[in-house]
Structure 1
Amino acid sequence: MAEVIVSLQHANIYQGDNLILQDVNLSVHKGEFVYLVGKTGAGKSSLLKTLYGDLFLRQGDGMVAGFNLRDVSWKKVPYLRRNLGVVFQDFQLLTDRTVYDNLKFVLKATGWTNQQLMNEKIEDVLDKVGLRAKGFKMPFEMSGGEQQRVDIARALLNSPKLILADEPTGNLDPETSDEIMQLLFYIARDYGTAVIMATHDYRVIQKFPARTVKTERGKVLDNASVF
């Protein structure tokens, strides 16, 4: 049986005093790809924020990448996030520095100090996303698809057990979206990284079918029928 990377049991997820999702039961295993769907405001972002420690779990049980979400404090959040990779819709790259320096910034911020090891790691993740020769480029010199690949490379820097991808194809054309989907599936399959991808893009779900979890009316429905 594959290692469990995400486990939520009878979890109630709050934003402030508002109960957003009730009695959430969810397990995601090593190397598994899971779509997270649901209408805007139905709780997708709240679920993702709980998984990466932006919202604390107050009721129920939760484990992510070996961390007990009930025990995570602000001091422990950075350690949790070193085991996660987060991919954003709008890339969130630093526009005043090269791709290489964007990645180096993250490594230094997460405790790396050896220059040679940092260089090797940056080359490794750029190679994985097909951008080995693009480290010298500035973000504005790159296409949207290339910037999203840099975002994914950044998410891979600390060899995460879990990638949380929030609408990663939302700003991309269909052909580029397909390339990003193939890359995310490849990372899950070949590196054993679990991927949870929030999306409204049902075209990619139909083209790249996988397990689908839906937020609806305060509940999380596993393998929901969404079509």
Structure 2
Amino acid sequence: MIEESTPMEQHSDSSLNIVSLRQANIYQGNSLVLNNVNLEVDKGEFIYLIGKTGTGKSSLLKTLYGDLYLKEGEGNVAGFDLKQLTWKKIPLLRRNLGIVFQDFRLLTDRDVYDNLEFVLKATGWKDKVMMKEKIENVLAKVGLKNKGSKMPYEMSGGEQQRVDIARALLNNPMLILADEPTGNLDPDTTDEIMQLLFNICRDIQTAFIMATHDYGIIQRYPARVVRIEHGHVKEISAAGV
């Protein structure tokens, strides 16, 4: 049974900043998608990112994990200057981040353990014993202890999403970016996943930015809300969604 929890209280201390965007203009190719973005996210903070399809939510997330280059303005994520990112630095940035997808993106020809081991090897882990301990640790955190030998197709959607979250936790991320992580889940499983995400936010002090279209989630699990609309990013209250 997962206990329901809420994120930590918010702080204004700039030393806690995990994300800082100031007067940032975000482009897809040569097209300006978001104009004059100012956004700060602190350690242990949970933020919902809302907005209609095509308004720029994915572009903002891609900028934060280095898939889109920040051309104008200032940006810092997990201590990395987005204006100074090179292809060599992007893997270093991503070791400090976790990404949770709507469609899980697990390797279907490998069991859960091998899916997680693949990520550890790709991010520079070498020691087999340490990798085994880490994998067992993250599986326990998401309620999948002793499920390492399961194949993805043997698991429910909720279990697969838990594996995706476990994968995001492997490198002790300062920030997790979740793109519609409950979009393919039934209501009961959605509640289980949201409680899990909030617990991680509280217990590990990992910051979350979660893109969602499900306003019901925001009402049931209130947190800070940021809306993207007409090329701009603005703060709103949960009651204003």
Match in the other structure for 1:9: 22
Residues in 2 aligned to 1:93 and 1:104: alpha-carbon distance in whole angstroms: 12
Matched residue type, 1:99: V
Describe how 1:19-58 pairs up with structure 2 within 5 A.
Answer: 19-58=32-71
Match in the other structure for 1:125: 138
Residues in 1 aligned to 2:212 and 2:103: alpha-carbon distance in whole angstroms: 13
Query: In the alignment, which of 183, 192, 216 is matched to residue 203 of structure 1?
Result: 216
Kindly indicate whether residue 161 of structure 2 is the aligned counterpart of residue 148 of structure 1.
Answer: yes
Cα deviation, residue 133, structure 1: 1.4
Residues in 1 aligned to 2:176 and 2:240: alpha-carbon distance in whole angstroms: 23
Residues in 2 aligned to 1:138 and 1:27: alpha-carbon distance in whole angstroms: 39
Matched residue type, 2:102: Q
Cα deviation, residue 152, structure 1: 0.2
Residues in 1 aligned to 2:135 and 2:120: alpha-carbon distance in whole angstroms: 9
Match in the other structure for 2:189: 176
Percent identity of the aligned residues? Answer: 70
Cα deviation, residue 57, structure 1: 0.3
Query: In the alignment, which of 118, 123, 131 is matched to residue 110 of structure 1?
Result: 123
Structure 1 unaligned blocks of 5 or more? none
Matched residue type, 2:63: T
- Post-superposition Cα deviations, 1:115-148, rounded to whole Å, max 9, x if no partner, equal 0000000000000000011111000000000000
Residues in 1 aligned to 2:173 and 2:132: alpha-carbon distance in whole angstroms: 18
Q: Which moved more, 1:151-160 or 1:66-75?
A: 66-75
Kindly indicate whether residue 74 of structure 2 is the aligned counterpart of residue 74 of structure 1.
Answer: no
SS in 2 for 1:220: strand
Matched residue type, 2:204: Y
SS in 1 for 2:36: strand
Residues in 2 aligned to 1:187 and 1:223: alpha-carbon distance in whole angstroms: 24
Matched residue type, 2:197: L
Q: After TM superposition, what 4+ stretches of structure 1 lie above 2 angstroms from structure 2?
A: 223-227
Query: In the alignment, which of 110, 114, 122 is matched to residue 97 of structure 1?
Result: 110
TM-score, reference length from structure 1: 0.98
TM-score, reference length from structure 2: 0.93
- Post-superposition Cα deviations, 1:130-171, rounded to whole Å, max 9, x if no partner, equal 001111100000000000000000000000000000000000
Cα deviation, residue 189, structure 1: 0.6
Match in the other structure for 2:97: 84
Query: In the alignment, which of 119, 138, 148 is matched to residue 135 of structure 1?
Result: 148
Cα deviation, residue 226, structure 1: 4.1
Query: In the alignment, which of 49, 73, 89 is matched to residue 60 of structure 1?
Result: 73
Kindly indicate whether residue 202 of structure 2 is the aligned counterpart of residue 192 of structure 1.
Answer: no
Kindly indicate whether residue 233 of structure 2 is the aligned counterpart of residue 220 of structure 1.
Answer: yes
Matched residue type, 1:187: I
RMSD (Å), alpha carbons: 0.9
Cα deviation, residue 223, structure 1: 2.4
